[in-house]
């Protein structure tokens, strides 16, 4: 099995998970593909690079970070005039994406931590490195905080979250997903991550995120989304809908637990409209969901629509 196939498999089976991590893994796999390429022709390299991209992107459909990471790695390859130039460009692009992505998570931590006050009780969902970076930074600054973390069925990424926070010395309480509305009366601020943010400011994140947002909205609890700007989806600018991944029913019920006639629906992400989001915390600073279009249009350049 090639390294690209192996990375793709590890993303599909969730050994590598979380939007930032899968983006970095995808970009690194493309960088490794370029560095270890054994062919001698530029045309063959470009063709095989395209196949590697398709293999990686087939692994998980929802997080646009993977698409952005992989495309950042291959940017400009088709304009190269020699194999050596293409290999060096792609491997350099991949390394830069991984480095910039890690820096973005740190910058988000430092910006977001300013929103956390001494004595705050926070709620988080699933296992987001961007959101946990913010919380751990506030804790390391000496702020006295408490955190509630949801279990996040069916994969129970909340177990990773409580372990990570406990290891950092944070006072953390695990709750089941259906306790969210009930615990909201104890919460001062909610911090979650993002898999994708659309051009009109809709958040796509772990299933259940939208119910945290609704419950927070009901009690006027600020709801913050911690997201690197490579979680912004350029495809949505062109009208594409985000594909919500549905995973195998074996993640929800054990074999024989329910009759075969019972259908099981296992969507793993949901959508939260921008009106329930107080702010996005990005490496470019705090912004409103309504600012996403402008940031994306600027990143893509003024001729983006005329290129179609």
Active site residues: 126, 195
What is the C-alpha end-to-end distance of the chain, expressed in Å?
37
**Minimum CB separation from ligand RUB for residue 229, in Å?**
12
Taking residues 194 to 213 in sequence order and writing x for each that binds ligand RUB by CB under 6 A, - otherwise, the string is xx---------xx-------
Taking residues 101 to 140 in sequence order and writing x for each that binds ligand RUB by CB under 6 A, - otherwise, the string is -------------------------x-xxx----------
Q: Rounded CA gap, 184 and 216, in Å?
A: 7
**Minimum CB separation from ligand RUB for residue 130, in Å?**
4
Torsion of CA 137, 142, 147, 149, to 10 degrees: 30
Radius of gyration of the chain (CA): 20
**Minimum CB separation from ligand RUB for residue 228, in Å?**
7
Q: In this complex, which beta carbon is closest to ligand RUB, that of residue 8 or of residue 128? A: 128
H-state helical runs in 18-125: 19-35, 42-57, 64-74, 83-113
Among 159, 164, 189, CA closest to 177: 159
Q: Rounded CA gap, 215 and 185, in Å?
A: 9
**Minimum CB separation from ligand RUB for residue 205, in Å?**
5
Cβ neighbours around 132 below 10 Å, total:
25
The conformational region for residue 49 under phi > 0 = left, psi -120 to 50 = alpha, else beta, is alpha
| Residue 231 · residue 195 · CB < 8 Å | yes
Q: Interacting stretch for ligand RUB, rule CB under 6 A, among 14-22, 29-37, 88-96, 110-118? A: 14-22
Say whether residue 190 binds ligand RUB (CB under 6 A).
no
Q: In this complex, which beta carbon is closest to ligand RUB, that of residue 193 or of residue 274? A: 193
Q: In this complex, which beta carbon is closest to ligand RUB, that of residue 49 or of residue 206? A: 206
**Minimum CB separation from ligand RUB for residue 58, in Å?**
16
Q: Which positions lie near ligand RUB, rule CB under 6 A? A: 17-21, 63, 126, 128-130, 155, 157, 193-195, 205-206, 268
């Amino acid at each position: 099995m090639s390294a690209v196939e192996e990375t793709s498999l590890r993303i599909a089976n969730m050994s590598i998970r979380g939007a930032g991590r899968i983006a970095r893994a995808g970009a690194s796999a493309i960088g490794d593909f370029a560095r270890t390429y054994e062919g001698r022709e530029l045309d063959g390299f470009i063709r095989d690079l395209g196949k590697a991209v398709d293999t990686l992107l087939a692994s998980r459909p929802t997080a646009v970070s993977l698409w952005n990471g992989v495309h950042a790695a291959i940017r400009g390859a088709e304009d190269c005039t020699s194999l050596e130039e293409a290999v060096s460009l792609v491997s350099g692009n991949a390394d830069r994406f991984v480095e910039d992505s890690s820096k973005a998570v740190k910058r988000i931590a430092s910006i977001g931590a300013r929103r956390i006050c001494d004595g705050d009780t926070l709620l988080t969902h699933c296992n987001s490195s961007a959101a946990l970076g913010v919380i751990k930074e506030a804790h390391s600054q000496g702020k006295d905080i408490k955190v509630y973390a949801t279990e996040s069925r069916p994969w129970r990424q909340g177990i990773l979250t409580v372990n990570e926070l406990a290891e950092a010395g944070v006072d953390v309480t695990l709750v089941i997903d259906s306790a969210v509305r009930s615990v909201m009366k104890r919460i001062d601020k909610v911090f979650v991550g993002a898999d994708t943010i659309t051009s009109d400011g809709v958040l796509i994140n772990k299933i259940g995120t939208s119910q945290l947002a609704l419950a927070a909205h009901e009690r006027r609890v600020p709801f913050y989304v911690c997201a690197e700007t490579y979680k912004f989806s350029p495809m949505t600018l062109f009208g594409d809908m985000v594909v919500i991944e549905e995973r195998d029913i074996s993640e929800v019920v054990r074999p024989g637990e329910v009759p075969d006639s019972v259908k099981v629906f296992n969507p793993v992400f949901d959508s939260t409209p921008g009106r329930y989001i107080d702010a996005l915390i990005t490496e470019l600073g705090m912004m409103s969901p309504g600012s996403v279009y402008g940031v994306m249009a600027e990143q893509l350049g003024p001729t983006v629509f005329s290129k179609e």
